[in-house]
């Protein structure tokens, strides 16, 4: 049984959400299920009504920096990956650590259970155009990204030390970018060399807007051959790219899915804001201190989705 309610992004006061006069049937749907189990992950996927098809289906995950990181457990996600006949996909990082070279990245990913992972920039990179970008004219992604017919964006929703939060939008922007592409986004287009990233970092809003630019390129490339699922567990203020993340202060709250990445990330943030869990204050502070909501505003301005949505709860 499905139970639907209309939700408004205006609750957190971003100022760019649609007005209350918008008809519910014109809004994107976000599906929600509370218990985080392999069976429920499959349920939210099936609720979307968009089947992952094609000869090659990529499942975009974050492979996690260390044994202490909070990346998604493969015991949770493998049944869905098998159902869609998917391949785990990732790209190398732009910072020193356990995933900045293909050899080390593949070793780390396999240690975390991501068997058969495709490090998409192992053999090079390609450019996708950004139409009318705020800062970027292109998105530099792993070469193998072009091999995939359909992308399942399977994200761990949590905080992030630079972006404020990480969800679907970050997973397709920074996550699909090659090492050099990550530098290009982080620097607002100032350099394409990952070795130069930290000497050329952009002003915060420029960085967030550049992530939205990169999202625009990915969505233009995939068309409808993409869907988005966020798992809201292990809600540290730090990303899975952090090898020593802060302890989660907020309790897990469920799995959400949508065909609209802006609505999906917004719904996750609204659930944090509206929670009665006192631990949420740490995550809210992290998002606010990085002006994280601005990425949603920029993505919405690009026409990538809406910050108002219909929330449909899947009964268990």
- Going by C-alpha positions, the residue among 36, 48, 144, 47 that lies closest to residue 88 is 144
pLDDT at 19: 37
CA dihedral 118, 73, 287, 289 (to 10 degrees): -80
Instruction: Please write the tens of the pLDDT for every residue from 300-313.
Output: 999 999 999 999 99
What pTM, to 2 d.p., does this model score? 0.92
pLDDT at 7: 53
Instruction: Please write the tens of the pLDDT for every residue from 207-248.
Output: 999 999 999 999 999 999 999 999 999 999 998 888 888 999
pLDDT at 176: 98
pLDDT at 138: 98
pLDDT band at 22 (very low <50, low <70, confident <90, very high): low
> What percent of the chain has pLDDT above 90?
84
d(CA 307, CA 312): 15
pLDDT at 298 > cutoff 80: yes
pLDDT at 241: 85
d(CA 1, CA 244): 41
pLDDT at 95: 79
Contact 237, 159 (CB under 8 A): yes
CA dihedral 160, 164, 169, 171 (to 10 degrees): -10
Instruction: Please write the tens of the pLDDT for every residue from 262-272.
Output: 999 999 999 99
Structure tokens at 4: 């639907």
Query: Which one is predicted more confidently, 33 or 98?
Result: 33
Average pLDDT for the chain? 92
Contact 28, 305 (CB under 8 A): yes
pLDDT at 295 > cutoff 80: yes
């Amino acid at each position: 049984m499905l139970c639907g309610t209309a939700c408004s992004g205006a609750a957190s006061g971003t100022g760019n959400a649609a007005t209350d006069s918008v008809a519910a049937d014109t809004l994107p749907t976000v599906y929600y299920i509370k218990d985080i189990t392999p069976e429920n992950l499959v349920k939210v996927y099936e609720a979307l009504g968009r089947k992952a098809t094609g000869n090659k289906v990529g499942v975009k995950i974050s492979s996690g920096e260390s044994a202490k990181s909070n990346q998604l457990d493969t015991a949770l996600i493998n049944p869905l990956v098998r159902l869609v006949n998917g391949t785990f996909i990732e790209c190398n990082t732009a910072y020193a650590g356990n995933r900045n070279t293909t050899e080390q990245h593949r070793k780390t990913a396999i240690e975390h259970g991501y068997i058969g992972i495709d490090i998409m920039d192992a053999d090079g990179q390609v450019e996708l155009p950004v139409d009318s970008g705020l800062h970027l004219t292109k998105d530099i992604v792993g070469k193998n990204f072009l091999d995939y017919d359909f992308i399942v964006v399977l994200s761990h929703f949590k905080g992030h030390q630079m972006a404020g939060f990480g969800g679907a939008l970050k997973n397709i922007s920074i996550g699909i970018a090659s090492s050099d592409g990550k530098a290009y986004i982080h620097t607002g287009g100032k350099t394409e060399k990952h070795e130069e990233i930290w000497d050329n970092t952009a002003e915060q809003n420029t960085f967030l807007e550049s992530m939205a630019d990169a999202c625009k390129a990915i969505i233009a490339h995939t068309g409808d051959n993409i869907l988005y699922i966020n798992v809201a567990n292990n809600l540290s203020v730090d990303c899975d790219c952090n090898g020593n993340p802060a302890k989660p202060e907020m309790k897990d709250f469920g799995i959400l899915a949508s065909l609209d990445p802006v609505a999906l990330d917004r719904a996750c943030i609204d659930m944090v804001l509206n929670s009665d869990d006192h631990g949420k204050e740490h995550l809210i502070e992290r998002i606010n201190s990085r002006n994280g909501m601005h990425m949603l505003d920029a993505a919405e301005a690009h026409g990538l989705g809406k910050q108002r949505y219909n929330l449909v709860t899947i009964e268990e």
